[in-house]
Amino acid sequence: MNIVTTYAWTGSGYVVPSATAKAGVLAMTRSLAVEWAKYGMRHNAIAPGPFPTKGAWDRLFPKEMSDKINLESRVPLKRVGHHQELANLAAYLMSDFSAYVNGEVVTIDGGEWLQGAGQFNQMDAITQEEWDFLEKIVRSNQKKS
C-alpha cells in the first residue's frame, strides 16, 4: 500500500519535490502490481485530499491565512476528511475483500480532484435567477435556428 496524491499525475504549483516523488511512487505502484502479481502480491495506492493534522495545518495554514486559503470551500462535500475514513479505506484495500484490486489508486478527497479538473465547475456559484436567465437565452437561440 502506498500513499500518493492527485497531483502525482498532473503536477501542481508550489509542490514540485512532492509531485515528483509521488509521481515516482505512482509509477512504482503500477509497475510492481504487474510484475509481482504472479507471486500473489497486490500493489495499490491511496490519494488522499485534505486530512488535517495539527502539526502540518498549523505550519501550512496559519490562522492569519485562513481567510485566503479555505480548503473546505474547494471540496464539493464542503468538509475535510476524517482520519477514520482514511484508515477504513486502507484497511479495505489491505483486506481480502479487495483481493481483485491491483494497480489502482483510490482517491479519497470529497470530490476535490474532480472539482478542480472540470472547466465549468465554477458555475456552482451561479444563482437560480442567473440560471433562469441563461435558460431564456438558450431557448431563444433555439427558436431562431
All structural domains of the chain with their residue ranges = 2-120
Residue 20 binned pLDDT confidence (cut-offs 50, 70, 90) = very high
Burial grade of 71 (CB within 10 A; 0-12, 13-18, 19 or more): middle
CA distances from 100 to 28, 40, 42 (A): 19, 11, 8
- The proportion of the chain whose per-residue pLDDT surpasses 70, expressed as a percent, equals 88
- What per-residue confidence (pLDDT) applies to 118? 60
- The catalytic residue among 7, 14, 39, 100 is 7
Q: CA 114, CA 120: separation in Å to the nearest integer? A: 11
Question: Rounded mean pLDDT of 77-87?
Answer: 96
- DSSP state, residue 119: T
Q: CA 105, CA 116: separation in Å to the nearest integer? A: 18
Backbone angles phi, psi at 113, to 5 degrees: -60, -45
- The proportion of the chain whose per-residue pLDDT surpasses 90, expressed as a percent, equals 54
Range in 3-7, 16-20, 118-122, 134-138 the model is least confident about = 118-122
Mean residue pLDDT across the chain = 87
In the predicted structure, residue 145 carries a pLDDT above the cut 80: no
Name the CATH topology of 2-120: Rossmann fold (3.40.50)
In the predicted structure, residue 129 carries a pLDDT above the cut 70: yes
CB 113 within 8 A of CB 106: no
100 is catalytic: no
- DSSP state, residue 63: G
Residue 65 binned pLDDT confidence (cut-offs 50, 70, 90) = low
- What per-residue confidence (pLDDT) applies to 144? 67
